Amino acid sequence: MNEKTSEAIGAIRRIYHRNNEIDSELEKLKDITQEIADFKVLRASYAGSHCFIDIEDPKSDTPKVVPCICIFNIYEELYGNDSSRKMSLEDLEKGLHIMINRKSAMSKEEFEQRLEESRAKSIMEGKTEIQEFAFESSKLKKIVIPNGITKIGRSAFMTCTSLECIDIPNSVKEIGRCAFVYCISLNEVVIPDGVTKIEQGTFADCDNLRMVVIPDSVTMIGKASFLKCWSLKSLILPPDLTEIGARAFKDCSSLTDIYYMGSKEQWAAIRKGEAWCENIGTRLVECCDGEVEIQ
Class at the top of the CATH hierarchy for domain 126-295: alpha beta
CB 225 within 8 A of CB 199: yes
pLDDT above 70 for 1: no
Q: What are 245-291's pLDDT values in tens digits?
A: 999 999 999 999 999 999 999 999 999 999 999 999 999 999 999 99
Q: Which of 244, 235, 290, 236 is nearest to 269 (CA)?
A: 244
Model pLDDT, residue 243: 98
Least Cα distance to 227 among 246, 245, 204 occurs for 204
How much is the pLDDT for 18? 61
Please say whether the beta carbons of 32 and 23 come within 8 A: no
Per DSSP, helices labelled H in the chain are 3-17, 22-36, 68-79, 89-102, 108-124, 264-269
63-119 residue pLDDT tens: 888 888 888 888 887 777 777 888 888 888 877 776 665 544 455 566 667 667 777
Amino acid at residue number 138: S
Question: Roughly what angle, to the nearest 10 degrees, separates helices 22-36 and 68-79?
Answer: 30
Question: At residue 138, does pLDDT exceed 80?
Answer: yes
For residue 213, report the phi and psi dihedrals to the nearest 5 degrees: -105, 115
Q: What is the pLDDT of residue 26?
A: 87
DSSP bridge partners of 129 = 151
What's the pLDDT at 49? 60
Packing angle between helix 68-79 and helix 3-17, nearest 10 degrees?
Answer: 160
Helix (H, G, I), strand (E, B) or coil at 284: strand
Q: Where are the domains of the chain?
A: 3-112, 126-295
